[in-house]
Amino acid sequence: MSLAKKLSTALNETRLLILGGQVLFGFEFNGVFQEGFTSLPWHSRALHCLSLFFMLLAIGLLIAPSMQHRIVERGEETRRILRATSLLAGLALLPFALSLSIDIFIGMETIHDSRAGLVSGAIFAMLAGVLWYALGFGVRAHRGERPVQDQEKPTPLSTKIDQMLTEARVVLPGAQALLGFQLTVTLTNAFQHLPPSAKHAHAVALCCVGLAIVLLMTPAALHRIGFKGEESKSFLGMGSAFVMTAPLPLAIGIATDIYVAIGKAVESQKGGILAGVAAICVLLLLWYLLPLLIRRQRQASIAKEA
């Protein structure tokens, strides 16, 4: 399979994963405000918070390849971005599996008892480990390493535009689902009893996720209305700027709602603040700081060789 085809397939695979991850993240966030949440034992509420953070990490890892492709490679198809996409998507499956297993445990514990929860959670963790990791590594060992057919070469403008629009689609559906969960939370009784600071924080999070959605939809609208579907370097530059900017308000919105949800779950504003700060640090590291560091190192390496 060619380098271009492999990269396109890898980006589409992250698109599938990120949608499921953000929908599950939205459910977990929404769950904190349901009436039955306060009746959960303390350990289940703590595990729910841990599950939220695991899913946050999975989302961060799944969006990271698109940011590296934009910031580091500037839309070019390279072996490095293919390896990075495969690595980050593979790593994202681990916190995804842990979060899913914890959610299964909490659900089964609520329906039956702790033993049923532990057994069910453990089964799902092992099943995910076998199907997501062991099976894949086994197949790869059997097939052996197969080299990419195409060498690195300048990426056509049409391909760059298609991949840029694909990267916008990677994030957009999950962000829209998350916004829906955020809006439904405002209609719950638990939300009405939050302190004003938490309500204001949630309002900020709503606006940030809404802004991210608007930014992510802009390239498609711009391409159709402004450029009438024509391929243009100007459109590529403008669209890439929107795609690279959108994760910033998304990160702020997610981290702010982590503060609200964790603070509500553990009944501690300080705990919520610490969780929110940790969340924004993780997302900014994966989406901006790490790509900028890699780009700087590559530029220094090129300058040294010259």
pLDDT for residue 42 is more than 70 = yes
Contact assessment for residue 22 and residue 177, using Cβ atoms and an 8 Å cutoff = yes
pLDDT for residue 203 is more than 90 = yes
Note the pLDDT of residue 146.
Answer: 62
Distance (Å, whole) CA 255 – CA 116? 32
For residue 117, give the amino acid letter: G
pLDDT classification of 95: cutoffs 50, 70, 90: very high
Tell me what the pLDDT averaged over the chain comes to: 89
pLDDT for residue 150 is more than 80 = no
* CB-neighbour burial class of residue 18 (10 A; exposed 0-12, middle 13-18, buried 19+): buried
Note the pLDDT of residue 61.
Answer: 94
pLDDT classification of 149: cutoffs 50, 70, 90: low
Distance (Å, whole) CA 236 – CA 75? 9
CA 186 to mean position of chain CA atoms: 23
Q: Which tokens go with 302?
A: 């090129």
